């Protein structure tokens, strides 16, 4: 019986042992079955990119609105006349539109 065991052990590959099997099972478990698996990380990475792009879009909108606010504060009457076609009671407003 001992000779059969030694013959089996000699045929056995040296890299297959309980440690490599446990490491292999651990890697499979962590990459597929765990709560923080690879697919979740990929999804969260894409979501972070989308949110950063949305943040940049809102920051550009804030800058544009700040410029508009400054323009309004500098000359309220001019802005009201140009944007909302307001006029005084003794004036007439003519709107001329050109095709751009």
pLDDT per residue over 2-19, tens digit each? 777 777 666 666 667 788
- What integer best gives the mean pLDDT of the chain? 84
Task: Give residue-wise pLDDT tens across range 74-99.
Answer: 888 888 877 777 777 888 777 778 88
Q: Are 37 and 31 in contact (CB under 8 A)?
A: yes
Is 78 within a domain?
yes
Instruction: Give me the domain span that covers residue 6.
Output: 2-84
Q: Rounded to the nearest 5 degrees, what angle is found at the Cα of 32, between the Cα atoms of 26 and 35?
A: 95
Answer yes or no: is 97 within a domain: no
The answer to whether residue 32 sits within a structural domain is: yes
Residue 65 lies in a domain: yes
On whether residue 92 sits in a domain, the answer given is no
Asked if the structure places residue 57 within a domain, the reply is: yes
pTM over 0.95: no
Total number of domains constituting the chain: 1
In the structure encoding, which two tokens stand for residue 30, read together? 């962590």
């Amino acid at each position: 019986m001992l000779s059969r065991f030694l013959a089996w052990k000699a045929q056995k590959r040296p890299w297959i042992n309980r440690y490599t099997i446990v490491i292999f099972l651990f890697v499979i478990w962590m990459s597929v079955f765990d709560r923080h698996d690879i697919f979740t990380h990929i999804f969260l990475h894409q979501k972070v990119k989308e949110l950063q792009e949305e943040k940049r879009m809102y920051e550009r909108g804030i800058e544009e609105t700040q410029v508009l606010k400054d323009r309004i504060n500098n000359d309220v009457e001019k802005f009201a006349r140009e944007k909302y076609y307001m006029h005084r009671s003794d004036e007439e407003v003519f709107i001329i539109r050109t095709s751009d």
